[in-house]
Structure 1
Amino acid sequence: MPARFDNGITGTILLADDSALDRHLFTQLLQRYGHTVHAVADGAQALAALDGLQPDLVLLDIRMPDMSGLELCAKLKADPATRDIPVIFISAASAVEDRIQAFSSGGVDYIGKPIKSEEVQARVTTHLTLRALRRTLELRVQERTAELEVANRHLSEEITERRRMAQELLESRQQLRDLAAHGEAAMEQERKRIAREIHDEQGSMLTALKMDLTLLRRELGDAPPAIGQRLDTMQHLVEEAVRVMRQVASQLRPAVLNLGILPALEWLTEEFRQRTGIACHLLAGDDIPLDDSRATTLFRIVQESLTNVTRHAEASQVDIGLSLEAEHIRLEIADNGKGFDPSQVGGNSFGLLGMGERLEALGGKLRIVSAPGRGTRLHITIPLAEELP
């Protein structure tokens, strides 16, 4: 019993051969293996049959009248609707040139006559299997492509959502900075108001009380010593109250800040030297005309930096440099203290955080250069206002 090359693959086959005997033999053979066969006698009939038929395989005799199998194959490969259908040529010719022409025109295989049933079935089954695998692969590619399109759409939506959230976060941070700047400005205004009230109202009252004590001392020139001692005590208390009042007013809002940033920093460095005994040098040129918010920010940053030097640096010298450059103001504060590792600064360093918040509100930047045993240097830049007075 002859061997059967049959893996269960069957299909619809279009057979074109001008020999009635060969058409009959091929049809009987292929049907025996379960294939559906549409047999025609020439190329024109084959083209007509393709109008309503989508075969899985085409068997073409090379030599047919009017239109050869080679010409028909070329037409099939030129048509997008039929170009993927595998074509197997059949011919009694055994010349190499015929086989070359068959493959050159788009054929996938070649069967010689007289035919052998096992060879025909093996070749037909092989190419039907390949076509089925190709269709399966194409289907999987389509399914995978659809899955990737869905995943890409979801990813695109997620990216869009994340961008929206990032934009909202940026806007929220900007709102927080604006709110912090507004709060800081309101706080400075309130400090200014309280300092003015302390200086004007409480200062006037204490000055009047001091004058009254002076007049009372004159009127009671012959008073007993006990009364004179009591007046001295009262005079001392009033003078101490005046001193404390001026100190509180200066801490709230130094009056010298109204004269400009340079006089304010000169006053601050001198007060720092007298209070701590630490050498403090201010290096600056001419006074820089600044709006109140920038002048106040620079003053508060220097004030906070000097406080940090007193509390933590163990320094013996501080140098402060202030300069006006093309598009921004540069402030540098350096000490020769014990230094620290900036990367280890945590969220509890409220002084540095406060500096950063003040600068961000004005579009400024803070850079810290420090290392254990090598002192600390703060580099601060603030953009100039659009218009300087």
Structure 2
Amino acid sequence: MNKKLVATAVSTALFAWAHNAHATNGDQMFAMSAAQAGMGGATVAQAQDAATVLVNPAGMADLGIKDVRMDLGFGLLNPPREVNGQESDSNWYMMPTGAAVFNVNDRLFLGMGLGGVSGMGVNVPDHLVGMANNQVIATTKAVFRFSPAAAYKVNDALTLGASLNIANQSMALTMPAFSLPQNQQFGFGATLGAIYKINPKLQAGLSYASKTDIAKMEYNTLNGPVSFDMDMPASLALGLSFKPMPGLQVEFDVKRIYFSDVMNRISVSNPGGTAGIPPALAFGWDDQTVYAIGVKKDMGPMAVSVGYNYGKSPIGREDVNANLGSTAIVEHHLSFGLARKFSDKVSGSFAYTHAFENDMTASVGPANTIKINQNQYNVNISYAF
């Protein structure tokens, strides 16, 4: 079997393992709850629910809660995708989310949130049709993040917030050349946020999430250990929220995700010379700028929202052959949300997001093609007292 094709297959498999198409901005979820998804992820300046802990912790002080607010929910993701016309056999994933915010006093708020931010898996029966036999890839990955957080109202206009991001990354991989069993590692990062009320109708939000430094994934093989770093990227987001009239909110966000720092080239340690493992994974991801806009209208106990989210794929055509297992190339997303208050304490929300189909064919080397679209459904229930 051609050694170059073997190296390509292994790089592809490892990438599929690490960055499966369960997210929408590259490999990052743009919303952690139904309320956030309904706004197209435009929630940096105006918190929509307790899940703001996972986006901009300063938003905890902007929820108008008396004592405590809790939000629980889950998402169902359906991302049909193809590699060279071969469909993935795993097309449904569940993503749980939970968050709580506590009003300590007029100025101090504490909170915590947990959610899946990356992973799940692929199951492609034959992703390199030109190679001998069926080149099966079966992978699982899950990255969950737990974030304890605090927010402090400096004055009536300015609120500052911070969270500690604790990530748990779980991975497993099976392919024709070798198999790496389930393994888990922890990682740490932080998020700093601020919200400033310019006037009663306009406010700005800022959020910076540091790189989540995850410990090396280490595996023992018959020839010795194999290890590599797979971290989560840093990001910087700025948002403006405008309320032109009572009950109507419009928000526009811009976010920069620094993929090139963690997904340009990843060195692989293989001192025992395990066959098929390349010395580095040259994925070539670019940084991504994301634009999101959301509009929400309150109508008595009901609220409706619509959102649009766009980010150019961090994978270019020149890097398709190094990313055959990713398919994380969706760019345009349209979302619709509904919320209803059932009582003074209980409310629920639902959102549907569609990521429009995008395909990309390699411009360098073999003309391999990847294709994907996404459908995502989020449901949440909130309790405040």
Q: Same fold (TM over 0.5)?
A: no
More strand by share: 2
> Higher helix proportion, which one?
1
TM-score normalised by length of structure 2: 0.22
The TM-score with structure 1 as length reference comes to 0.21
> Based on CA coordinates, which of the two structures has the bigger radius of gyration?
1
